[in-house]
Amino acid sequence: MTAQTRILVADDDPVLCMLLQETLRSAGFDVLIAYNGDELVRMAQEHAPALLLIDLMMPVMDGYEAIRQLRNDTRTAHLPMIILTARSASADVVTGFETGADDYIVKPYDIDVLLARIRSHLRRAAQRPVHNPLTGLPGNILLQAELEHRLSSHQSFALLYVDLDNFKAFNDAYGFARGDRAIHLLADVLTEIAPTADFLGHIGGDDFAIIHTEPNVESLCQNLVNTFDERVSSLYDTADLQRGYLKGIDRQGMPRKFGLLSVSIAVVNTFWRNFTNVEEISKVAAELKNQAKLLPGSSYVIDRRRKQREVPVGERRGQPLLNALILCDDPTLSQSLDYMLRLQGYRALLAADTVAAHTLLARTPDVALLIAEIASEETLQEIRQQFETPPPLLALTSDTASTETAMKVGAYANITRTASISQVIDQIMFHLIHLQEDSSA
């Protein structure tokens, strides 16, 4: 053991504390002393020991309550806790185990036995890494244990699954050191914004999780998104920030433009829906995260389903959903198109500009339909060049010049932009029917 291995001793007997301190220091440990339960809890939270030796009978707060509080705190829940007890107090030992202790040492203790048990618990703890080494936040093991505990005790909560977008491109452009800074920035934002009563964990890589205890999850998500977007610019070089994107290669080997780092949040809510196990929650969270990543910029998707999920038309027919890329800077029209396309068996990929379109295509290159505003021939050709075989294009045109551009690039149909969104939707529906007829002919 090294001097960095810290043990926290809690006992109201100053003589015993002094003897333990000398014994443990001689064995190579760093030792902290607490003389009551309240001091024990505070020191454990502030100084992160590797193991705790706890007397059960202490003033202010006894050992039972101290252990209970430490087990309920994500910062200390994983720590080995050994009871210090008198030989005649076997009933106290049983209660201590029920509270959450791992072992006990009888007073007066045998030094060799004491050191052997301490080292045994430290070895066992080291074999199960429970905190992420980069951020120091609780890792996947503690997250799963916390979810299982809340499910078994029928506690209502919302699980926020948080993931960085465009992180691979950022890492490739700037290197792992700045990639670690990006992960630290997200961890700092989550730590700052999430209520102290929430569980905050680092699953691994750029994935985080929050277990939120209140039903007002939407305001929390919005606050997280806004705060991250305000701070992320500090990670970029000035030239890249002014340009608004990074150049990189996607997983299919295609050159792309990747937007700035953003955050996607998937929210699984047990306030309205029951889950039987962690695997079921994880499956829904992964599904929602994929939906969030299809939205432009930082975004969140909240599962508000109470029973069976609403199945899109395409899935009800036993067919996979088709991807449709929508390149449009009008958010109202984009959302209307998203709703209409889902009813027709499509999954909409919403992009406000070409950089967002590049980012979406890097994740989902298989696109069956392109609906795009005609800003310029150059912009449209740039997007169509991203496909080995360009999908049918429904061009949103607003004047003679854009109509001529659409015809020049070989659009399947022109959709005249009018002030009425319903008229635009009707035109697209008309051409979708013809597209489906052509594909089945």
| Three-state helix/strand/coil letters over 187-251 | HHHHHHHCCCCCEEEEEECCEEEEEECCCCHHHHHHHHHHHHHHHHHHHCCHHHHHHCCEEEECC
Q: Poorest-confidence range of 42-56, 194-208, 427-441?
A: 427-441
Domain boundary among 83, 100, 126: 126
The pTM (predicted TM-score) of the whole model is 0.58
Residue 174 confidence (pLDDT): 94
- Looking at the structure, do residues 152 and 93 belong to the same domain, yes or no? no
Domain assignment of residue 274, yes or no: yes
Quick check: helix, strand or coil at residue 158? strand
> Are 113 and 198 contained in the same domain?
no
Q: Are residues 175 and 207 in the same domain?
A: yes
Residue in 323, 366, 356, 348 with CA at minimum distance from that of residue 256: 356
Pairing of strands 158-165, 207-212: antiparallel
Question: Beta partners for 204?
Answer: 207
Domain residues for the domain of 363 are 319-441
- Of 107, 126, 145, which marks where a domain is finished? 126
3 pLDDT above the threshold of 70: no
With a cut of 90, say whether residue 183 has pLDDT above it.
Answer: yes
Domain shared by 369 and 297, yes or no: no
**What is the mean predicted confidence (pLDDT) over 268-285?**
88
- Write down the mean pLDDT value for the chain: 85
For range 246-259, the mean pLDDT: 83
Whole-number pLDDT of residue 161: 96
Q: Are residues 210 and 108 in the same domain?
A: no
Do 196 and 292 belong to one domain?
Answer: yes
pLDDT digits (tens, 9 = 90+) for 294-318: 777 899 888 876 544 444 444 434 4
> Taking residues 42-50, what's their average pLDDT?
86
In this prediction, residues 418-426 reach a mean pLDDT of 83
Residues near 36 by Cβ (< 8 Å), separated by ≥ 6?
A: 10, 12, 58, 59, 60, 61
At which of 101, 126, 151 does a domain end? 126
Residue 71 lies in a domain: yes
Q: Domain containing 85 — which CATH number?
A: 3.40.50.2300
The Cα 96–Cα 54 span in angstroms is 10
* Backbone φ, ψ for residue 243 (5° rounding): -70, -35
Same domain, residue pair 280 and 357:
no
| Side chain identity, residue 340 | M
Q: What share of the chain has pLDDT > 90, as a percent?
A: 35
- Do both 387 and 342 map to the same domain? yes
d(CA 293, CA 350): 10
Dihedral over Cα of 76, 81, 85, 91: its sign: positive
> What pLDDT is attached to residue 196?
87
**The dihedral of CA 95, 96, 99, 102: what is its sign?**
negative
Instruction: Between 223 and 316, name the one with better pLDDT.
Output: 223
Confidence of residue 376 (pLDDT cuts 50, 70, 90): confident
Question: d(Cα 436, Cα 225) in Å, to the nearest integer?
Answer: 39
Q: Cα(334)–Cα(338) distance, rounded to whole angstroms?
A: 6
230: CATH: 3.30.70.270
Model pLDDT, residue 9: 95
DSSP letter at 128? S
Q: Do 232 and 188 lie in a common domain?
A: yes
Phi and psi based region of residue 136 (left: phi greater than 0; alpha: psi -120 to 50; beta: remaining): left
- Of 402, 400, 380, 378, which is closest to residue 390 (Cα–Cα)? 380
Res. 266: pLDDT tops 90? yes
Tally of domains within the chain: 3
My answer on whether 389 and 437 are in the same domain is yes
Return d(Cα 361, Cα 359) in angstroms, integer: 6
- Distance, in Å, from the CA atom of 326 to the CA atom of 322, rounded to the nearest integer, reads 13
Report d(CA 315, CA 317) in Å as an integer: 5
Side-by-side strand order, sheet with 199-204: 199-204, 207-212, 158-165, 262-269, 299-302
Average the pLDDT over 251-262 and give the result.
86
* CA 295 – CA 359 distance, rounded (Å): 11
- 366 by Cβ neighbours in 10 Å (0-12 / 13-18 / 19+) ranks as exposed
Q: pLDDT tens, 59-113?
A: 888 888 888 888 876 667 778 999 888 755 566 677 777 778 888 888 888 889 9
Residue at 314 is within a domain: no
Phi, psi of 158 (to 5 degrees): -120, 130
Domain assignment present for 1: no
Residues 122 and 136 in one domain: no
Per-residue model confidence (pLDDT) at position 326: 94
Question: Are 117 and 203 members of one domain?
Answer: no
C-alpha distances in Å from residue 65, one per residue of 10, 37, 70, 197, 322: 13, 8, 9, 18, 56
Residues 6+ apart with CB under 8 A from 216: none
